[in-house]
Chain A
Amino acid sequence: MLRFASQRLLGMALTLWLVSIVAFAVIQAPPGDYAEAYLTEKQQSGAVLTQEELTQMRQFLGIDRPWYVQYATWFSRIVLNGDFGHSFEWKRPVADVIGERLPFTLALAFTTLLFMYAVALPIGIYSAVRQYSVADHTFSLIGYIGLATPNFLLALVLMFLGQQWFGQSMGGLFSPEYQEVPWSWNKLLDFLQHLWIPVIVLGTAGTAFLVRSMRALVLDELGKMYVVAARASGLSPLRLLLKYPVRMALNPIVATLGWRLTFVISGAPIVGVVMSLPDTGPLFLHSLLNQDMPLAGAMVFIYCALTIIGTFVSDLLLVMLDPRIKMS
């Protein structure tokens, strides 16, 4: 187990390092550098900058050095001090700006994962056992539509309906009166009351996908001899179902936990933007639209890191659940 974990840990570190290169490439991708952007900004307000000042500025920011030196400085600062650089837009350290909002993204992602599994597994099992029943057809119809609807459209429609029926804004994560006050029991309740809409929006497509795979997996197992044998030996139907086919079917479902997490993290920014959540989504989009690349690159790195760590955890979970899986 320890050897398996350390091997995986090594793999994770390697992937994180690769991701950091991608994130750095994102930072470097737009044409021109910060000094040029600064120059245009100053020129618009009428100030004059000499070529010398620009060179000085480049030297000061370190952007006159070759890219690999810049990358090394950038990456070592992250690893050693957790320092992601300075945001142009916010005039503050990137780590602080993200740190304020990241907990909301995490809360949203994990609640969504929980929601997906809690809803999808029972429905998937039920649909398999009652194959071709009215409920099965209904669930698959909803599932198809859920898979085909872009997250943002679902968010817009839900918010629109909420406005029409309840006359209140469904966006955000807090009611106005709790916006600025410190955390309390009531604020937590208020938060949970707001959280479920983005969770549904973010989780629908993944839930639909999970229902389909769970249904197919259980259906595969149901016809097998060991199930017939267990049934013949007189086990009660529910006990039989949960003890044998469902247990077998759970394996591939747990194995893909990492992918599901990737899926959720991938969708989170858009939902955050559309529903104006106080999480990292709007921050990320804003930084992209304004080409605030240090912030954007850091966000790409963090989104990737989240999924990589999640995959690592799900690998460990799987080995713990099923010792038969080779630890290689």
Chain B
Amino acid sequence: MSSVTPALPRTSGTFLRPDSATQWQLMWRRFRRHHMAMLGLSILGLLMVIAIFAEIIAPYQPSQRSIRYLAGEPTGVHFFDSDGTFHARPFVYARIIKRDPVTLRAVPTVDQQTRWPIRFFVHGEPYRLWGLIPTDLHLFGVESGFIHLFGTDSLGRDQFSRTMYATRVSMSIGVIGVAVSFVLGTIIGGIAGYLGGMADLLIMRVIEFIRSIPTLPLWLALSAALPRDWSSLQVYVAITILLALIGWTHLARTVRSKLLALREEEFVVAARLAGCSDARLIWRHLLPSFMSFLIVDLTIAFPEVLLAETSLSFLGLGLREPAESWGVLLYAAQNVRSIAHLPWLLIPGLFVIAAALAFNFIGDGMRDAADPYAK
């Protein structure tokens, strides 16, 4: 894979022997110089950790209701108490219920006299990690009272825990959607570029057609046509496949143009003369030499899929409760009135922006790194 283009690195100053760094190492060197891309990579890493360990990081189950703290604001984390004394163990202030003298509504009020210290690796609500391992370990929690870092919704569900679970669903839709796009794009683009002729013409026309129509209204229409009685798993699969149909056209174009350009290259001719089969030629020689460009396209496709899922769910046409995704959570913040009352419901939106930003940064860095021999 590494010896596809054994050109001498033209980096001035340091002399590198051709075998001293593989192409991927050269790319990594170049990528690391891109600070924003490295920042993007760390954000992405964090989101992936959340997606994998959502159950452990979340102090509560997503459907668990905190009946004494409905529509409550984020509890906040403190190190200094109201007297200014420092506590090494962070804490949240206790909440006590007071009755509004006029409306007689129960209003949770901050009680600055009582502290609820935060403990780490506490035993709480039992659950199955990844649906397999039964455990009750949570990354953090409070022993008495409750902790809601992102507040609660009008049903008293912990927004922080729900956001953690939503991160898993949203990121997985992105990953699966992009993976399906990748397979579709490589196969279809590969057919167009490798066969050429009529197949190429036809496929390129189809791609042009798809790119010329506004996708979001079409996806909205298609997901609205999904049967209403489907389970949330079925809807999840269907939406993921629908979204995967967004990303592949761009990828197919890249694959096709690279294949057309490479077909006449000497190493391809050499491989063909040496008796390589078509399949071996594609997988061993052609694909590795433009893999990096494909990865660039994939990073660009990811935020598209992510934003599309969020928009669909936000409109109530994508995933629906009890499934959790960033879009589903934002569905509760649909109008200005609810945001004015519960502005913390917008916090999942920050996750959407962070994820999309991270992928944009990484994409930029990758584009620079994809061709490590360019000046």
Please report A residues at the B interface, Cβ cutoff 8 Å.
15, 18-19, 22, 26, 29-31, 144-145, 147-153, 156-157, 159-160, 163-164, 169-171, 258-259, 262-263, 265-267, 269-270, 273-274, 284-285, 288-289, 291, 293, 296-297, 299-300, 303-304, 307-308, 311
Contacts and interface: CB of A to CB of B under 8 A. Distances in A.
Contacts of A300: 217-218, 221
B315 interface: yes
Nearest to B312: A270
Interface string B344-365: 0010010011101100110000
B216 interface: yes
Nearest to A262: B214
Interface of B: 209, 211-218, 220-222, 224-225, 227, 303, 307, 310-311, 314-317, 330, 333-334, 336, 339-340, 343, 346, 349, 352-354, 356-357, 360-361
22 contacts: A15-B212, A18-B209, A29-B222, A30-B225, A31-B227, A144-B357, A148-B357, A150-B314, A151-B311, A152-B314, A156-B339, A157-B346, A160-B336, A160-B346, A164-B340, A169-B336, A262-B213, A270-B315, A293-B225, A299-B217, A304-B213, A304-B218
Given A18-B209, A311-B212, A26 B346 contact: no
A291 B224 contact: yes
Contacts of B311: 150-152, 270
B349 A153 contact: yes
Contacts of B211: 259, 262
A150 B352 contact: yes
A208 B303 CA distance: 15
A269 B336 contact: no
B251 to A, nearest CB: 17
A10 to B, nearest CB: 13
Is chain A's interface secondary structure helix, strand, loop, or mixed overall? helix
A121 B346 CA distance: 32
A149 B352 CA distance: 7
A148 B36 CA distance: 14
B218 A267 contact: no
Contacts of B216: 266-267, 269-270
Contacts of B315: 270, 273, 285
B217 A269 contact: yes
Contacts of B224: 30, 288-289, 291, 296
A160 B343 contact: yes
A149 B336 CA distance: 18
B364 to A, nearest CB: 9
Contacts of A156: 333, 336, 339, 346, 349
A293 B215 CA distance: 18
B214 A265 contact: yes
Given A150-B314, A156-B339, 11 more contacts: A29-B222, A148-B360, A150-B310, A150-B349, A157-B346, A170-B336, A262-B211, A262-B214, A266-B216, A285-B220, A288-B317
Contacts of B221: 26, 29, 288, 296-297, 299-300
Contact of B316 (A19, A163, A289): A289
B180 to A, nearest CB: 20
B220 A19 contact: no
Contacts of A159: 336, 339
Given A26-B222, A163-B340, A19 B356 contact: no
B204 to A, nearest CB: 13
Nearest to A170: B336
Contacts of A171: 336
Contacts of A170: 336
A87 B334 CA distance: 26
A308 B208 CA distance: 11
Nearest to B215: A266
Contacts of A308: 212-213
Contacts of A304: 213-214, 218
A137 to B, nearest CB: 11
Contacts of A258: 212
A229 B73 CA distance: 64
Contacts of A30: 224-225, 227
A22 B311 CA distance: 22
Given A144-B357, A148-B360, A150-B311, A19 B213 contact: yes
A111 B216 CA distance: 20
A284 B220 CA distance: 9
Contacts of B225: 26, 29-30, 291, 293
A258 B213 CA distance: 10
